[in-house]
Every structure is written in C-alpha cells, then in structure tokens.
Amino acid sequence: MATFPDATAVPALRPKIRYAVESIGAFSLVFTVGAAESGGSPIPPLALGAVLMVMIYAEAYRSGGHYSPATTMLALVRGRIGLRDAAGYWIAQLSAGLLAVVAVTMTGHTPAAASMVELVFTFVLCYVALDAATRSPPDNSFCGLAIGFIVVAGTFAGNAISGGAFHPAVTVAAGAGTAAGFALLTLNPPTHDPAPPE
C-alpha cells in the first residue's frame, strides 16, 4: 500500500521547481473558482474541491502541495518549511493568483473567454495526466481518478463558458460538425416550412 507524504513538508528539490509547482496549483485553484462563479456554475465548491484534490495528487510530492499562503504559513509555524522557502512560496502563490484573476476576468460568453477556459483546463488536464501517468516510481493507483476529476473540475467551472471540451480533437470535431451542418443547411435549405401554420 502506498503511503502519502506529509503534504506540508517540502521535498529537497530545486526551489524553482517547487515555486513553479506552487504557481501552477494556485493559478488552477483561483482560475477554477473564478470561472465557476462567472460562468454561473451551481456548484463552485465541488469544482474547487476537485481541482484541489487533483493538484495535491499530481504535485504534492514536488512542493508539498500548499497552493495557499495560509497553508504555507501553517507549514512555517510547524517547522516544515524555512522562512526563505515560505517567502518564495508566497510570492509564487500570490503572483499566480493575481494572474488567474486577470485571466478569469476575460471570461464571460465570448469566443475569447471560451478560448481562455479551454486553454487553461486543457493545459491542467495535460499537466496532471503527464505527471500522474509518467511518475517514477509508478504510484498510479489513483492516476485515473486524478485525471478524471480535473475534467469534472473544468466542466463545473467552464461548461457554461466554453462547453467544456478540454480536448483539441473534440473541439475541432464539434466545430467541424457545426460548420458542416451549417454549410449543408445553407447550400441545401429545407424545402418545407419548418414552422407549422397557425
């Protein structure tokens, strides 16, 4: 049975790697909540919980999985992280959070907003899938759960904005299907009146 390391302990990796992991996690959390709220999702807390679960599974072994200045403060108080690392984490987390706020303000119901949601959640899906599926040593007992739940988080957060494909082939196929249907109806309009007479 696999054991999960103390999520607040900081592994002995280069600081840049840990800060990058914390940035990606914090960005993902803030963007997910913002997209869920602006997209009118009825359950933003489930989207937040799903993305947090996925990020902790995927990357806690690299950075400790804090993703929040409050968690980093707790790790500092408990002696799990030094002040220099804590300061680096805080800068990474807060900067990523601010960047996510800027990105999520582009959301709404526009093509640019849909593209932003698709870009962010497709990146996070690929990031989690590659990390979870290619980890060494392979501890993949929950790999599928992590990958599936990033789709859940993205769908709850961004479905109303982009349709929630998070897969370029699905997006292209759906677009081609729509364009083909539009072209077919435009070039060969129906010969009957679609609205019945009153």
Element of type H or E holding 103: helix 83-104
Phi, psi of 42 (to 5 degrees): -75, -10
Does the reported pTM lie above 0.85? no
- Sole residue written with tokens 């690929």: 126
Digit-coded pLDDT (tens) for 29-86: 999 999 888 888 888 888 999 999 999 988 888 899 999 999 999 999 999 999 999 9
pLDDT of residue 9: 61
Q: How many CB atoms within 10 Å of residue 167?
A: 16
d(CA 59, CA 171): 28
Cα-to-chain-centroid distance, residue 182: 32
Digit-coded pLDDT (tens) for 127-186: 988 887 777 666 667 788 888 899 899 988 888 888 878 877 776 676 666 655 445 444
d(CA 29, CA 51): 6
- Answer whether residue 194 shows pLDDT above 50: no
Given a contact cutoff of 8 angstroms between Cβ atoms, the answer to whether 31 and 149 are in contact is no
